């Protein structure tokens, strides 16, 4: 047989039978089927990674709560305190409002400043615990474990394991992080925020919308999740308007959550924006960015340096400036986020602006800022990047843990700090 005309013998390139596969987009990768083990194994790893940190912080909280009894006892007294008192010391300030709403609902319009989902869950758990405060503490600490797990998993996915561990550690040691264990709605809101963000990054849009809906029923700041939702939706679809699908409408679930509470406020008090108008009770008014900082600096200048007002404003002002610097570093400098990670920087920026746009028109213009910055998780990612330098890491561990111990003792004894 004559093979002289055979393509192989003449080294003639053959046309492929099948065309080369098209590049796989990030969106198409998310549609690929996964096995159950592939889904749960990373979460199990994250839970085991954060469990020692969660346990250690709660042991520290227990010891500080126990030792704070000495502040309530005179020297060498034979008296002792009842055990239930230890628990009651965690019921300070805003805790009373959540407990009241969980027990009796919204009796006056000004209470709508506290959004309904946390006291609703608190009320449900109180059916088991028979005590709304205990229910709130249980709810917050369950949510906190979820915060640690999701934060670890989210950062691990986009930044790596080392930064995931360090970001979680730095959040846990932040001077006001004990509020995540108190009967406040901080941990529940951060739980929903992180979970929504995770679903956004995975391209699970309807699930992200549902979780964002819950975040908006927990705090008004939940509406800010619309920005990362829309930004990453467009990015994952190649910034191509023709690639948009029906699942893009899931972003409407977020304002729906806020709208439902507005509808309730209109029905109950005749004012759909009662939750916004209630801020006047704390002298909070929409102002230009930076006004609160100028006002706080003015108070520090006018009041005695070692006075109550000056010290509190120093705490709030320094916290605000440090978080401002960390937020800026998400955009510029060697620690800035890449184009793929820019959604974190954008959310951190709008969340920061939201916190400082409503200062209080009294002697403490930045009050609560030191607590509310716990929501700015992108800033903690940048802090973790900075902490890769040994000296920064050691300084943060010592300063942050010492300040948190002090602030927690202040809180337990009943002195207002942040």
Query: Is the distance from CB of 344 to CB of 381 less than 8 angstroms?
Result: yes
Rounded CA-CA distance 237/27 in Å is 7
CA distances 114 to 187, 194, 405, Å, are: 14, 20, 27
Query: Is the distance from CB of 281 to CB of 358 less than 8 angstroms?
Result: no
Rounded CA-CA distance 47/148 in Å is 8
Q: What is the DSSP string of 135-170?
A: HHHHHHHHHHHHHHHHHHHHHHHHH-HHHHHHHHHH
Instruction: Name the 3-class secondary structure at 102.
Output: helix
**What are the tokens at 361?**
């028109």
pLDDT of the chain, 418 residues: tens digit per residue: 444 444 444 444 444 444 444 444 455 555 555 566 677 888 899 999 999 999 999 999 999 998 888 887 777 777 777 777 788 888 888 899 999 999 999 999 999 999 999 999 999 999 999 999 999 999 999 999 999 999 999 999 999 999 999 999 999 999 999 999 999 999 999 999 999 999 999 999 999 999 999 999 999 999 999 999 999 999 998 888 877 788 889 999 999 999 999 999 999 999 999 988 888 877 888 888 889 999 989 999 998 888 888 998 999 999 999 999 999 999 998 999 998 999 999 999 999 999 999 888 778 899 889 999 999 999 999 999 999 999 999 999 999 999 999 999 999 988 887 7
**What are the tokens at 362?**
């009294």
**What are the tokens at 31?**
């549609």
Rounded CA-CA distance 179/182 in Å is 5
Bridge partners for 284 per DSSP = 360
């Amino acid at each position: 047989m004559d093979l002289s005309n055979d393509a192989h013998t003449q080294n003639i390139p053959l046309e492929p039978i099948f065309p080369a596969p098209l590049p796989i987009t990030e969106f198409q990768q998310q549609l690929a089927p996964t096995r159950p083990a592939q889904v749960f194994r990373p979460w199990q790893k994250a839970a085991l990674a954060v469990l020692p940190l969660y346990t250690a912080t709660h042991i520290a909280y227990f010891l500080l709560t126990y030792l704070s009894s000495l502040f309530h006892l005179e020297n060498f007294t034979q008296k002792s305190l009842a055990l239930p008192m230890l628990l009651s010391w965690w019921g300070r300030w805003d805790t009373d409002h959540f407990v009241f709403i969980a027990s009796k609902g919204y009796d006056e319009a000004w209470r709508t400043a506290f959004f309904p989902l946390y006291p609703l869950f608190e009320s449900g758990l109180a059916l088991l615990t028979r005590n709304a405060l205990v229910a709130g503490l249980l709810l917050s600490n369950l949510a906190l474990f979820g915060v640690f797990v999701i934060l670890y998993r989210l950062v691990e996915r986009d930044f790596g394991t080392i930064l995931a561990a360090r970001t979680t550690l730095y959040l846990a040691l932040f001077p006001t992080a004990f509020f995540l264990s108190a009967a406040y709605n901080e941990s529940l809101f951060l739980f929903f925020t992180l979970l929504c963000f995770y679903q956004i990054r995975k391209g699970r849009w309807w699930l992200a919308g549902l979780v964002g809906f819950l975040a908006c029923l927990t705090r008004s700041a939940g509406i800010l999740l619309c920005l990362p939702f829309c930004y990453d939706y467009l990015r994952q679809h190649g910034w191509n308007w023709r690639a948009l699908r029906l699942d893009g409408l899931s972003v409407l679930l977020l304002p729906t959550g806020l709208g439902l509470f507005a509808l309730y406020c209109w029905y109950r008090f005749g004012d759909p924006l009662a939750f916004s108008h209630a801020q006047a009770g704390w002298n909070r008014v929409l102002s230009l960015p930076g006004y609160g900082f100028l006002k706080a600096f003015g108070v520090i200048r006018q009041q005695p340096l070692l006075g109550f007002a000056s010290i509190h404003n120093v705490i709030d002002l320094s916290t605000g400036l440090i978080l401002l610097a960390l937020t800026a570093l998400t955009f510029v400098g060697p620690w800035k986020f890449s184009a793929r990670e820019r959604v974190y920087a954008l959310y951190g920026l709008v969340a920061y602006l939201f916190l400082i746009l409503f200062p209080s028109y009294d002697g403490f213009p930045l009050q609560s800022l030191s607590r509310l910055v716990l929501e700015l998780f992108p800033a903690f990612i940048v802090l973790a990047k900075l902490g890769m330098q040994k000296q920064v890491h050691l300084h943060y561990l010592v300063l942050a843990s010492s300040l948190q111990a002090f602030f927690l003792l202040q809180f337990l004894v009943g002195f207002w700090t942040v």
